[in-house]
Amino acid sequence: MAISFEILEEDIFGRTGRLKVGEKILKTPALLPVVNPHLPLITPAEMKSLGVGALITNAYIFHRSKEFREPALTRGLHDLLGFDGIIMTDSGSFQLSVYGDVEVSNSDTLLFQQSIGSDIIVPLDIPTHPDTSREQTEKELGTTMDRLREAMEILGPGAPLAAPIQGGAFPDLREQAGRTAGEMGFTFTPIGAVVPLMESYRYEDLVRVVLAAKKGLPSSACVHLFGAGHPVMFALAVAMGCDLFDSAAYALYAKEGRYLTTHGSKKLAELSELPCSCEVCRSHSADEMRQSPEKIRLLARHNLIVTLTEISRIRQAISDGVLWELVDERCRSHPRLLRGYRTLLTYTEELAARDRISKRGFLLVRACLLPLTVSHLVACRSTIPS
């Protein structure tokens, strides 16, 4: 079951595309909601009804769980979860990043993921923290690349394998990893170990890491940004060239009583109105949602709908050739996002070469974006009404 990726339209480094995994097809950019089998606030069947075509779950949980291991092996992951779309499985690298160790080998997790019918299988890569020394980063990157080679040997040519791109915060190592993965023939390439950058709002470093990996990767590779959660940063990530995201934020924020919007999050306890027209917000007042015994599930559903809607909005912006405008609007909602945006704008030569001539929409701000430097951009924008 091979993985292939077809690019349809482009704007900045962003593109719409068609990811094909076996006979299953997914429009990109796309979100893969994270499903925790122990506590699914939204079931995979509900996700499908909302338009979700792919999801991600953790094979390590199934591998170690007395409750789920045998059913997954016997029935297969799709039947067990009740989802016939694309299912990607993480190998246990998330647990490795959190706990520092896992009780599974690379070969064990590869064969287990294959046995339960995963559509996209992830080797046990080493998620190197961005603050790790170069010497240690190089060592761990070497281990990751060895495991990618081992994965191809174990599962054979044409296996639906992902190739996580590691390299810490060192752009040259990210570029090297991307180039090597491309030479090995991988077409599905998640960029790993970037959650710490996003959690600490280091969007400048995120831009550098992603664009370095993209420089090494072939343009035909489908790029997945591991752990990208909040919809406010999706437009920037797509503008950098990311095609897929996975996120548990819809559930995590709900458990904290937080209500997602495309410009940030709000505390449900402080809302007098629900500023959204999704099915959840149309059928509940703020007071009703707060008092509902299903409050967390309702919040999770709203959060997921908002996130999916933002992905659709981004695809349309690419089609219209106005992704810059959406990025500009979203990044102005947070000063650290704006720094990441300005870092992206320093890649002027590459951006100018990719900026589309034909556009369905056009705003005055576009005249200031390319091929100017950040200082020119700031000076030019001082003349634009807010």
The reported pLDDT for the residue numbered 62 is 95
67-79 as b/e: b if 16+ CB within 10 A: ebeebbbeeebbe
Instruction: Delimit the domains of the chain by residue range.
Output: 3-252
Is 90 labeled as catalytic in the residue annotation? yes
Strands (E), 12-152: 14-21, 24-28, 30-35, 54-58, 86-90, 120-121
The two structure tokens encoding residue 255: 């458990």
The two structure tokens encoding residue 25: 């097809």
DSSP state at residue 82: T
Nearest to 341 by CA among 249, 250, 266, 232: 232
The answer for residues whose C-beta is within 8 angstroms of residue 287's C-beta and 6 or more apart is: none
* Catalytic annotation, pick one of 90, 119, 125, 246: 90
Q: What fold characterizes domain 3-252?
A: TIM Barrel (3.20.20)
**Average per-residue pLDDT in the chain?**
91
Contact, 306 vs 278, CB < 8 A? yes
pLDDT at position 78 over 50: yes
Nearest to 380 by CA among 334, 340, 345, 330: 345
Contact, 379 vs 359, CB < 8 A? no
Nearest to 268 by CA among 277, 260, 258, 276: 258
Q: What is the pLDDT of residues 87-144, one digit of tens each?
A: 999 998 778 777 677 889 999 999 999 999 999 999 999 999 999 999 999 999 999 9
The reported pLDDT for the residue numbered 369 is 45
Question: What's phi and psi for 145, nearest 5 deg?
Answer: -65, -35
The reported pLDDT for the residue numbered 376 is 44
Q: What is the pLDDT of residues 214-249, one digit of tens each?
A: 999 999 999 999 998 789 999 999 999 999 999 999
Q: What is the pLDDT of residues 23-64, one digit of tens each?
A: 999 999 999 999 998 888 999 999 999 999 999 999 999 999
C-alpha 378/C-alpha 237 separation (Å) is 22
The reported pLDDT for the residue numbered 366 is 44
Average pLDDT over residues 275-297: 97
pLDDT band at 356 (very low <50, low <70, confident <90, very high): low
Average pLDDT over residues 313-323: 96
Share of the chain above pLDDT 90, in %: 82
Q: What is the pLDDT of residues 168-181, one digit of tens each?
A: 999 999 999 999 99
Cβ atoms < 10 Å from Cβ of 299: 26
Q: How far is CA 335 from the centre of its chain?
A: 21
The reported pLDDT for the residue numbered 1 is 63
C-alpha 34/C-alpha 275 separation (Å) is 25
Q: Is the backbone of residue 36 left (phi > 0), alpha (psi -120 to 50) or beta?
A: beta
Contact, 58 vs 64, CB < 8 A? no
pLDDT at position 363 over 50: no
Average pLDDT over residues 207-218: 97
